[in-house]
Each structure stands twice: as structure tokens, then as C-alpha cells.
DNA sequence: TTGTAAGCGTTATCAC
DNA sequence: GTGATAACGCTTACAA
């Protein structure tokens, strides 16, 4: 049988409330009783029942992290673990525990979030989503539950952290233009996914700013991460006029694309230059080493938790957004070998 | 204000217990009331308070996953996320949620586990540990809390899953002997860590079985994963008689070792052959491609959860151990270029 | 088939 | 300073 606050109270010959006060380190308690109770707590190896405590407090020290995609996939990509590490590092420090929730579909996400919020398991939520319209987000806003989104959402009443995806797209184009390219393709645009759309906007703007006409056929749509860069690239290779450079929305996409390029008997970067985004560990060692953008997922996660804590502790409602800087890492996959 | 079971009861003009029974899908309930209540539940968007439910049931549908090392580090290595993915994939399917707990020290581990068990937040625990003596494990055994260890422990009253690390060590040696090597080093033995020790035992046995004398100086000790393969390798390079092959206890160690070898003006595998363990994604693309052992972390995690569930649901106490097979993946870092 | 009431282990609000 | 007592939201004997 588990030892409860009542057992301690009995043994110490005080009331449960006194024990409770000792635990809470209330100033109203005499040094003598405090000491006595503390000793017995130790002796009996008592630990407060967090569930009971949460029930009466109507709040736990648990925050939920809701990730899209089945567990099998989510963790495949180094981005997620890194993000999680960032969240966990802060959460640990602040005495919060992390509840992991993987959801495969939007419906599942909605149900999960309902369970987590109304079920009052979690004190707050960190939501990983980058769809511009997300019913879960709207619902959360409506009920006023504390949460933070990683990835931009269009609902204005939302705290979020994200990279500057517009800038990322913009800079990648500029990088290629610097290398003398004029036909730059964009691989992996997924309508409705803000991350890719923001990058695409950056891409377009950069073209315009440099007087290059935008060419519809150079934008290849896809599902986000799960997509197959190999197949997408083939579409580009089939064009009458091929691109000379490709921006892939993710490194994994880029790897697939490079494979397709090689199979077509072409060389990277001589025939077609390639750059990815996310800077996965493999990028550096790939053949050729892949130009990419360091996204700082760890910082993204850290910041998300910090924001959530602000929401949790302050009573004024404010809506913040944090932009975590990204960093272009140039490697040989995108470098013109000579002028 | 949150909607509770009482609100539903009032609205439906039944008692709370009836509502509770409807939720539990009790057979004692008439179709009519059931339907009526269900409708109102939907209307009012009611979700049971899991905390309250856990309190009365004295058990939640949450399992804790306790990982050693700070969050920053744990997720660095692909092994952990993969493991986690395995656990999560099963847990999701069975309606369990996962509570993530990172612990930096053994003390922290003990405190965390106490909190998680006595605090009755979690129904069961999955512990990642491979120390042969672990007070946390002993404590868990003592109080009879349901848990499973990933990694072998010596306490016999424990359910655990692990790879056959003895065999892994054994096979790697045989592989090198096949290639004509006779001086095979073992990099990254960490005393007290069963994973490395079992591998070392396999290594020794293989040598003995093939009539090769065991040579103390060829075993380089270290802290486990966090160790620096570069520095460790230097010790081997400083020997009067260098090894011609190196088994590194982890791929990251192997990468460091290769770097040191290259810096010494030697070539892999011509001068010194190298093999790692864990088969991280980078291994395939490293220069040279690294021979490694596929550990199947996903399956490891999956199996761990299955075991835990068995413990959770059955009332007889049994102690099982599962061995997940590993698989040697030969690449050029360990291949003799010619006979 | 349904309702009543007790209790899960805490904390908070009163009294004293 | 400390102790009753009443919640928190749910489940489950036991009654009806």
C-alpha cells in the first residue's frame, strides 16, 4: 500500500493540512513541527501523489508536445529530435515533464488535443504544425488553453516560433544567382504548408528583385517531408529547358534529387547545382557535400518552451512571435566550379 | 468553466453514475439512456477529466520513459529517437501516452523515478540503462512497480530487452579475422556498462576461439557515447605495435577514430581497418563508408513497450528478456583491398 | 436499469 | 500555528 499524506499525519500526530503545509514550505509552520514532519516523510519514503495534487490544483506540471506524423516517421528526420531536445532541456530545468503525443491525421490531432486539454492532463501545449489553417489551433484559441505553435499559423491570436522562411528562400536564390544561375527550380512546395509557402514567396521575391522572370514550371509541388525527391526531380529533368539549379525544401528531398540527377548521367554541381534546407548531419558528408540551411531546431524548441512558460505564468494575454535565425551553409553541391 | 460529468448528468436528467457507465460502455445501461447521454456529451463537448479518473483508478494510461544524459545529448545520437519511435508507435496504438524524463545523473534518475512511481503519474516505466548495478532498478524491483529495462541489468527480477552484444563483439572479430587481421583493437570499453562489456566479452571469446592471444593494450577504455573517438584512437596509434583493425563501440567513436588515423597519415582500411556499431545514417556515406552493426533500435523500443504491457495487464509476475537480433553491415572501411 | 454515497489523495478556507 | 472540513471530478459498491 502506498504511503499517503494521512499516514504521515498520523505518525507525526498532526493533521494532514499541517503536513501539506510543510511540503509547500509554508511560513506559518513552526520550526519544530516542520522538522518532525520532514523527518517522518523521509523515514516513510513519502512522495506526494501528483495526480491528486493536480486534481485539486486543476493544473499539472506536464506539458504536451503534439507532433504530426506517425512516430515511425517523425523521428526519422533529425529535425524533430533536435526540436524535442530543445524543449526538454528547458522543461527539465523548470521542473516540467513532457508528454509526447504523435498524431497521424488532423482528426487525430484534434481528438488528442481535446483529450489533453479538457482531460486536464497537461498545463500547456506545444503544437508542431505549419498548416496555415488548422482547426486545432482555432479551437485552442477559442477555449483559451495555453499553447505555443512551432511553425507559423495565420490565426493572429497565437504565440508562435518559426524560422524566417521567407528569408531562407530569398537567400538561397541569391546564392544561386551569385553563382551565375538564371534557371533556379524550387522543389517541394506544398500548398497550405506555411513553411514551404513562405520559402516559395522568398524565392519569387528574390527573382523579381533581380529581374529574373518567374517560371511556373520550375516549381514542383509535393507533400512535405515524406515526399520523394527522386521522383520530383525527374519531373524537372523532363522539362524541355532544364533548370541549372535546384532549391529543395528539405535535405532529404535534395538527396533524392541528386540521385535522380546522377542517374540521368548529369553531374552535381556542374550540370545542375543543388541546395537543401535543414542541414542534417548527412549533408556535410554526402557526395557531393550538400549546401544547406542550418535551422537551429534546438533553439526553436527552447524558445517555444520559454514562450509557453510565459503564457502559463503571466495573467495578461499577449501574442508573441519569435523568429529564430537560420544560417546558409555553403558546400560544393551548389558551387560553380569555374566562371 | 470546464464541463464535468455532473453537468452532463443534470442536462440529461440522470445521475453522474449513469453518465459514467455510459462512458465506460457498461452493458447495464438501457439503449435509450445511453443514446440520450451520448448525444448530450457530444453537444456539450464533454471530455472526462483524466486526472480525476486516474486518481480513483489509481492508475493512468501514461508510461514514463526515463533516459540518461541531458536532453541535449540524448537526442544527438540517432539511437535514442529511433528507440523512442518504437516505443511511441506501440504506445499510441494501445492508447498510452508517453512521458519523457531526461535525467543527467544517477541521483536525478532515482529522484525522478520516485516521483513518477509514488507520485502515481505513470502506470509503468521504461528505463534506459545499461549499468550492471543500478540502484534505481533495485528500488523499482523492491516496490514492485511495473517497469522494463532497455539494456541488460544484472538484477534477475527484471524484464529487459537488449541486443545480443556478446554476439556483436564476436562477429566483428570474426569478420576482421576473415580479412586476415590478427591485431584487432577494441575501442570504447566502459567498465560497468553492460553493453560495452558484453561486446568486449564477445571480442575476447572470439580471439580465444581462433587462437589469437588477447592483448590488454588493445582495449581502450572510455566513457560511453559521449567519448571522443579521436583521442582514444591516438592512444592506439601511439603503441609500439599498432593494431591493424579497430572495433569501435559506436559509429561516432569510429568517425573520430578514422579522423585520427587519417591525420596520422594512414589510410582506412589499407593501414587500419575500422568498424563501428549502431549503423547511424551517416555510416553509409562516410568516407570511407563505415562497416557497422545494425542494432534495430526501433524494434528494441517496440518490444520494450510490449513487455511493459504484458507486465501491466497480467497479474502473474514473470521475468522475461528479449534479445533483438543485430545485423553486420559490411562496407569498405573494413574490407581488405586485396589478398 | 438507475441512483446514492463514499472515497481516491491532495489543497484551501475557514475556524480556533 | 494548527486542525476540521469541503472541495477537485471521477468510479464503484450497495441500494432501490
- Listed residue (A64, A97, A221, A238) closest to B66, CA to CA: A97
What pLDDT does B119 receive? 83
> Å from A201 to nearest chain B CA?
32
Interface test with B, best of A81, A87, A142 (most B CBs within 10 A): A81
Is B55 a domain residue?
Answer: no
Is A114 a domain residue?
Answer: yes
How far apart (Å, rounded) are the C-alpha atoms in residues B182 and B176?
A: 8
Are A320 and A245 members of one domain?
no
* First vs last C-alpha separation in chain B: 79
Q: pLDDT exceeding 70 applies to what percent of chain B?
A: 97
C-alpha cell at A255: 538527396
Instruction: Kindly report which listed range (A208-212, B117-121, B255-259) carries the lowest average pLDDT score.
Output: B117-121
How far apart (Å, rounded) are the C-alpha atoms in residues B246 and B255?
A: 12
> Å from B47 to nearest chain A CA?
6
CA B18 → C1' D15, Å? Answer: 15
What pLDDT does A316 receive? 79
How far apart (Å, rounded) are the C-alpha atoms in residues B31 and B17?
A: 16
Contact between chains at B98 and A100 (C-beta distance less than 8 A): yes
How far apart (Å, rounded) are the C-alpha atoms in residues B173 and B175?
A: 5
Contact between chains at B121 and A47 (C-beta distance less than 8 A): no
Is A55 a domain residue?
Answer: no
What pLDDT does B313 receive? 87
Mean pLDDT, chain A, as a whole number?
Answer: 91
Instruction: Report which residue is nearest nucleotide D2 when distances run from CA to C1'.
Output: A18
Residue A123: closest CA among chain B residues belongs to which residue?
B51
> Coil, helix or strand for A63?
strand
pLDDT band at B172 (very low <50, low <70, confident <90, very high): very high
Cell 512497480 appears where? B145
> Which residues, numbered 152 to 211 in chain B, qualify as contacts with chain A under a Cβ-Cβ cut-off of 8 Å?
none
Are A10 and A157 members of one domain?
no
pLDDT band at A338 (very low <50, low <70, confident <90, very high): very low
* Residue B288 burial class via C-beta count within 10 angstroms: exposed 0-12, middle 13-18, buried 19 and up: middle
> Above 80 in pLDDT, residue A20?
yes
Closest nucleotide to A27 by C1' from CA: D1
Tell me the mean pLDDT in the region A111-123. Answer: 89
What pLDDT does B245 receive? 97
Tell me the mean pLDDT in the region B285-308. Answer: 95
Are A145 and A174 members of one domain?
no
Tell me the mean pLDDT in the region B191-208. Answer: 94
Are B177 and B260 members of one domain?
yes
Contact A160, A149 (CB under 8 A): yes
Are A170 and A317 members of one domain?
no
Q: How many CA atoms lie within 13 A of B85 on its CB side?
A: 23
Contact A156, A302 (CB under 8 A): no
> Coil, helix or strand for A98?
strand
Strand C positions with any atom < 7 Å from protein CB?
Answer: 1-5, 7-13
Instruction: Kindly report which listed range (A149-153, B63-67, B103-107) carries the lowest average pLDDT score.
Output: B103-107
Are A208 and A290 members of one domain?
yes
pLDDT band at A86 (very low <50, low <70, confident <90, very high): very high
> Above 80 in pLDDT, residue B208?
yes
Contacts of B50 in chain A (CB under 8 A): 115, 119-121
Number of Cβ within a 10 Å radius of residue A26? 12
What pLDDT does A225 receive? 54
C-alpha cell at B59: 492508475
Mean pLDDT, chain B, as a whole number?
Answer: 91
> Å from A162 to nearest chain B CA?
20
CA B19 → C1' D14, Å? Answer: 18
> Above 80 in pLDDT, residue A71?
no
Domain count, chain A: 3
Is A210 a domain residue?
Answer: yes
Tens digit of each residue's pLDDT (9 = 90 or more) over A159-174: 999 999 999 999 999 9
> Above 90 in pLDDT, residue A2?
no
Tens digit of each residue's pLDDT (9 = 90 or more) over B97-149: 999 988 888 888 988 998 898 888 899 999 998 888 889 999 999 888 999 99
Q: pLDDT exceeding 70 applies to what percent of chain A?
A: 97
The domain that holds A124 is classified in CATH as 3.40.50.2300
Is B320 a domain residue?
Answer: yes
A89 touches strand D (CB under 7 A): no
> Above 90 in pLDDT, residue A336?
no
Residue B1: closest CA among chain A residues belongs to which residue?
A143
How far apart (Å, rounded) are the C-alpha atoms in residues A199 and A195?
A: 6
Residues 6+ apart with CB under 8 A from B302: B86, B87, B89, B90
Q: Which residue has the higher pLDDT, B223 or A198?
A: A198
A29 touches strand D (CB under 7 A): yes
Residues 291-320/A with CB within 7 Å of nucleic chain D are: none
Is A57 a domain residue?
Answer: no
Distances (CA, A) of B78 to A76, A236, B64, B295: 9, 33, 20, 11
What pLDDT does A227 receive? 66
Closest nucleotide to B26 by C1' from CA: C1
CA B59 → C1' D13, Å? Answer: 19
Tens digit of each residue's pLDDT (9 = 90 or more) over B258-284: 999 999 999 999 999 999 999 998 999
Contacts of A49 in chain B (CB under 8 A): 55, 118-120
Distance of alpha carbon A72 from the chain centroid: 17
pTM comes to: 0.89
Distances (CA, A) of A179 to A97, A254, A273: 48, 18, 10
How far apart (Å, rounded) are the C-alpha atoms in residues B275 and B254?
A: 7
> Above 90 in pLDDT, residue A223?
no
Are A100 and A77 members of one domain?
yes
Number of Cβ within a 10 Å radius of residue B302? 24
Are A35 and A121 members of one domain?
no
Interface residue A45 vs chain B (CB under 8 A):
yes
Return the number of CB contacts < 8 Å for A and B: 144
Tell me the mean pLDDT in the region A226-254. Answer: 92
Is B244 a domain residue?
Answer: yes
What pLDDT does B192 receive? 83
What pLDDT does A70 receive? 66
Instruction: Kindly report which listed range (A36-40, A55-59, A93-97, B128-132) carries the lowest average pLDDT score.
Output: B128-132
C-alpha cell at A305: 518552451
Are B138 and B22 members of one domain?
no
Tell me the mean pLDDT in the region A45-55. Answer: 93
pLDDT band at A317 (very low <50, low <70, confident <90, very high): confident
Show contacts of B236-244: CB within 8 Å, 24+ apart: B236/B185, B236/B187, B237/B261, B237/B264, B237/B266, B241/B183, B242/B183, B242/B272, B243/B183, B243/B184, B243/B185, B243/B218, B243/B272, B244/B181, B244/B182, B244/B183, B244/B184, B244/B271, B244/B272, B244/B273
> Above 90 in pLDDT, residue A154?
no
B26 touches strand D (CB under 7 A): no
pLDDT band at B191 (very low <50, low <70, confident <90, very high): confident
Are A66 and A106 members of one domain?
yes
Angular region, A119: left φ>0, alpha ψ -120 to 50, beta rest: alpha
- Listed residue (B252, B107, B75) closest to A100, CA to CA: B75
Range of the domain at B39: 5-44
How far apart (Å, rounded) are the C-alpha atoms in residues B100 and A89?
A: 11
- Listed residue (B243, B122, B120, B145) closest to B187, CA to CA: B243
Are A265 and A150 members of one domain?
no
What pLDDT does B296 receive? 94
Classify the C-alpha dihedral B8-B11-B17-B19 as positive or negative.
negative
pLDDT band at B211 (very low <50, low <70, confident <90, very high): very high
Instruction: Report which residue is nearest nucleotide C2 when distances run from CA to C1'.
Output: B18
* Residue A31 burial class via C-beta count within 10 angstroms: exposed 0-12, middle 13-18, buried 19 and up: exposed
What pLDDT does A339 receive? 40
Residue A63: closest CA among chain B residues belongs to which residue?
B99
Are B133 and B281 members of one domain?
no
Interface residue A85 vs chain B (CB under 8 A):
yes
C-alpha cell at A165: 522562411
Closest nucleotide to B4 by C1' from CA: D9
What pLDDT does A192 receive? 83
> Above 50 in pLDDT, residue B339?
no
> Above 90 in pLDDT, residue B183?
yes
> Coil, helix or strand for B122?
coil
Interface test with B, best of A71, A79, A92 (most B CBs within 10 A): A71
Interface residue B279 vs chain A (CB under 8 A):
no
Q: Which residue has the higher pLDDT, A318 or B72?
A: A318
Output phi, psi for A279, to 5 deg. Answer: 50, 60
Amino acid at each position: 500500500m502506498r504511503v499517503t499524506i494521512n499516514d504521515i499525519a498520523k505518525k507525526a500526530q498532526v493533521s494532514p493540512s499541517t503536513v501539506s503545509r510543510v511540503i509547500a514550505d509554508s511560513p506559518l509552520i513552526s520550526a519544530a513541527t516542520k522538522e518532525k514532519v520532514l523527518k517522518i516523510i523521509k523515514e516513510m519514503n513519502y512522495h506526494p501523489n501528483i495526480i491528486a495534487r493536480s486534481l485539486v490544483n486543476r493544473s499539472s506540471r506536464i506539458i504536451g508536445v503534439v507532433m504530426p506524423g506517425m512516430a515511425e516517421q517523425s523521428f526519422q528526420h533529425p529535425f524533430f529530435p533536435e526540436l524535442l531536445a530543445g524543449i526538454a532541456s528547458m522543461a527539465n530545468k523548470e521542473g516540467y515533464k513532457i508528454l509526447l503525443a504523435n498524431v497521424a491525421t488532423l482528426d487525430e490531432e484534434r481528438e488528442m488535443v481535446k483529450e489533453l486539454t479538457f482531460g486536464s492532463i497537461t498545463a500547456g501545449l506545444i503544437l508542431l504544425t505549419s498548416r496555415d489553417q488548422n482547426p486545432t489551433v482555432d479551437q485552442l484559441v477559442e477555449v483559451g488553453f495555453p499553447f505555443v505553435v512551432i511553425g507559423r499559423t495565420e490565426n493572429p491570436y497565437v504565440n508562435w516560433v518559426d524560422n524566417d522562411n521567407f528569408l531562407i528562400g530569398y537567400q538561397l536564390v541569391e546564392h544561386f544567382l551569385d553563382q551565375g544561375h538564371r534557371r533556379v527550380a524550387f522543389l517541394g512546395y506544398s500548398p497550405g504548408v506555411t513553411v514551404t509557402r513562405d520559402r516559395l514567396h522568398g524565392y519569387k521575391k528574390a527573382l523579381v528583385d533581380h529581374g529574373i522572370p518567374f517560371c511556373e514550371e520550375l516549381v514542383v509541388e509535393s507533400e512535405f517531408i515524406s515526399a520523394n525527391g527522386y521522383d520530383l526531380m525527374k519531373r524537372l529533368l523532363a522539362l524541355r529547358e532544364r533548370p541549372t539549379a535546384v532549391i529543395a525544401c528539405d535535405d532529404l528531398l535534395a538527396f533524392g534529387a541528386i540521385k535522380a540527377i546522377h542517374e540521368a548521367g548529369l553531374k552535381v554541381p556542374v550540370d545542375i547545382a543543388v541546395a537543401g534546407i535543414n542541414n542534417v548531419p548527412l549533408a556535410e558528408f554526402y557526395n557531393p557535400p550538400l549546401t544547406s540551411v542550418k535551422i537551429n531546431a534546438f533553439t526553436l524548441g527552447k524558445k517555444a518552451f520559454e514562450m509557453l512558460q510565459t503564457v502559463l505564468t503571466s495573467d495578461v494575454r499577449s501574442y508573441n512571435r519569435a523568429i529564430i535565425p537560420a544560417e546558409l551553409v555553403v558546400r560544393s553541391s551548389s558551387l560553380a566550379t569555374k566562371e
